[in-house]
Copies of this chain bind each other. A is one copy, B any other.
């Protein structure tokens, strides 16, 4: 690697490590923390030896990172990585990204999204990125919209509206590129987007393939106008395990994770739990209790982890951010009666709508003294709620 800068050597090493290790391989990540990526790769491939000091250091990192307190030791991990060593070709992988109009970013790069630090030890080694070279948005400007693949018409329409509205306000919509809610989220964001990166698709497999194939055109548009990213290298299959790991990146990129539609058991709930575990806001969209596709959302609401959201304004508010508090608008329609004292409310109830009533009669109907009735009628008159005719009072038509 002669002639390369430090960050470039680090990049090549991380490209190799990403192929060697599955996402969230705690021992591997701790090894990188301890030695840096270049030496970590040496140890992982068996080129460099590892002494008891390193074992202790990795143990310490694992404990700090809240990871496994007991582990099988570095030799076991090296044996685990060994079968993949012969497949390593980081230069080829980086060339592939260039050919696809993309790149590999790593922590320390100006383009690296800082909010991924919230994942601690589980921060991805790197991100393989298809899309224009421009800064990815910070978490305050990103909202994750996630949900079931088998979305209903309701879920589709709600997701589309929310994604469009959020994108119109300058938010970046993060999702997983899958069928259903994910696809509607990306599509809505593309049509409404005003930010330089209107939407990000975080893939479970390599970004060389637009998967699933039915979303190929959509994902191509996301790559062109936004970004398609993954922590696993080109050619990696989107396995179930990688889907679950991928969800933590969606959660970490955004300040708020909104579950729009999800069944009682759903991958979207996994994303919500990731978000919660790193202190990000989880929100859920309610729906019919007769819809199995809302059962997961209601579960999140019921278990207390999620905030109930029903429009773009409420989501923007949770992001603490750039959207105005549109959701408050509804409160301004307060009825005139709201400010009345109990006595005046009783008096208003006692006032007839048609034939006017005397003060004396009102004292009986309202159960108030004559003085109180007179004073109250004066106040109601000022508010336009009562009107008088030759000493007799009735309710105004507007009240």
Contact = CB atoms under 8 A, between A and B. Distances in A.
A364 interface: yes
Interface stretch (A103-111, A123-131, A191-199, A345-353): A345-353
A150 interface: no
Contacts of A364: 83-84, 87
A179 interface: no
A96 interface: no
A87 to B, nearest CB: 7
Given A80-B367, A302-B314, A287 B285 contact: no
Given A239-B346, A286-B301, A21 B367 contact: yes
> Taking each of A76, A154, A349, which has the highest tally of chain B beta carbons within 10 Å of its own beta carbon?
A349
A278 B24 CA distance: 48
Interface string A337-374: 10000100110111000000000100110011111100
Interface residues of A, number: 60
A310 B292 CA distance: 11
A264 B335 CA distance: 12
| Top-9 shortest CB links A-B | A286-B286, A239-B349, A83-B363, A79-B369, A301-B308, A289-B310, A302-B308, A80-B369, A83-B364
Interface of A: 20-22, 24-25, 76, 79-84, 87, 154, 158, 239-242, 244, 264-265, 285-290, 294-295, 297-298, 301-302, 307-311, 314, 330, 333-335, 337, 342, 345-346, 348-350, 360, 363-364, 367-372
